[in-house]
Amino acid sequence: MYKIAAKKSLNPTVTQMEIEAPLVAAKAKPGQFIILRVDETGERIPLTVAGTDKEAGTVKIIFQIVGATTEKLNHKEAGEYIQDFVGPLGVATHTDGIKKVCIVGGGVGCAIAMPVAQEFHRLGAEVTSIIGFRNKDLLILEDEFRECSDRLTVMTDDGSYAREGNVTVPLKEYLDAGEKFDMIITIGPLIMMKFVTLTAKPYGVPVTVSMNPIMIDGTGMCGGCRLTLNHNGEKVTKFACVDGPDFNGYEVDFDEAMSRGRMYSDFERHAYEETCNLFREVK
């Protein structure tokens, strides 16, 4: 059992928790993830490591309440326990030799992008961050990004805060102005990462995308997180849990990934509604 050391609401649909897991905290690096179960009968869900405190032995996770398990997890409070917390899993984000990086985060994907930006800042790289949200109410982690970024641009789709538009607008402005990034790292909805990649392609800047497909065991055995990459003209199958979650954005078949991601949306919605009704009945 793993104790919830702290809990904080970042916006109406996104929650931050710190979990006591000293062995995970000692080894986890930016870009890696954990898999947890809320209770003995719960499903396994992957969540990115959003930060660690090695001295306290805690791991920070940030999750959006979108399904049955995240709804159940959100009803847990500080001082309570969750059943399983396994990790770190996946390959850490590559940082060697990168001196000038652009981090592009969208929505709750900013929770994954933040520790990556913080790591580059710690290593002395020049960090340009672009973060985008649908509206002001969904904004998260602005202060944290500002602390670790040399430049920060905040975008909202509806213009209710900061600049109006999506994240590709300032990215293209930077590239048009002649900015020479060693790497663009983008983390967020698949459709956003696809268009960030398309925006960067004419300029020849390397793009890394962080993929979060359906995942069960986290060891490559189930095959649920498989992705198709177009590598040197050939289609190659990779697994996000062991080969990623970071991949070359120019190689990812985003359309296939988006199609696979929608496969269980109706089932998940039904499970979410059942869970919500259960908590209402308990109250």
Per-domain boundaries in the chain: 2-89, 93-210
Q: How many other β-carbons are positioned within 10 Å of the β-carbon of residue 260?
A: 18
pLDDT (0 to 100) of residue 67 = 84
- Report the sign of the C-alpha dihedral through residues 166, 193, 124, 99, in that order: negative
Instruction: Work out whether strand 246-248 and strand 151-156 pair parallel, antiparallel, or are unpaired.
Output: unpaired
Q: How far apart are CA 13 and CA 279, in angstroms?
A: 17
Here the tokens at position 126 are 């020049």
Asked whether 193 and 250 are in contact (CB, 8 A), the reply is no
Here the tokens at position 207 are 């793009």
pLDDT (0 to 100) of residue 258 = 87
pLDDT (0 to 100) of residue 265 = 57
Rounded to the nearest 10 degrees, what angle do helices 168-176 and 190-200 cross at?
10
pLDDT (0 to 100) of residue 142 = 96
Q: How far apart are CA 139 and CA 105, in angstroms?
A: 11
Q: How many other β-carbons are positioned within 10 Å of the β-carbon of residue 76?
A: 16
Residue 265: exposure state from Cβ atoms within 10 A (0-12, 13-18, ≥19): exposed
Domain 2-89 grouped into CATH 2.40.10.10 = no
Q: What is the pTM of this model?
A: 0.88
pLDDT tens for the chain, 283 residues long, are 999 999 999 999 999 999 999 999 999 999 999 999 999 988 999 999 999 999 999 999 999 998 888 999 999 999 999 999 999 999 999 999 999 999 999 999 999 999 999 999 999 999 999 999 999 999 999 999 999 999 999 999 999 999 999 999 999 999 999 999 999 999 999 999 999 999 999 999 999 999 987 787 777 788 888 899 998 889 999 998 899 899 999 999 999 998 877 756 554 555 445 545 544 555 5
- Cis omega before residue 245 (within 30°)? yes
Residue 258: exposure state from Cβ atoms within 10 A (0-12, 13-18, ≥19): middle
Asked whether 14 and 108 are in contact (CB, 8 A), the reply is yes
Helix (H, G, I), strand (E, B) or coil at 186: strand
Could you write out the DSSP letters of every residue in 145-185? Answer: HHHH-SEEEEEETTSSSSEES-THHHHHHHHHTT---SEEE
pLDDT (0 to 100) of residue 233 = 87
CATH C-level class of 93-210: alpha beta
Which residues, in sequence order, are CB contacts of 21 under 8 Å at separation 6+?
2, 34, 57, 58, 59, 85, 87
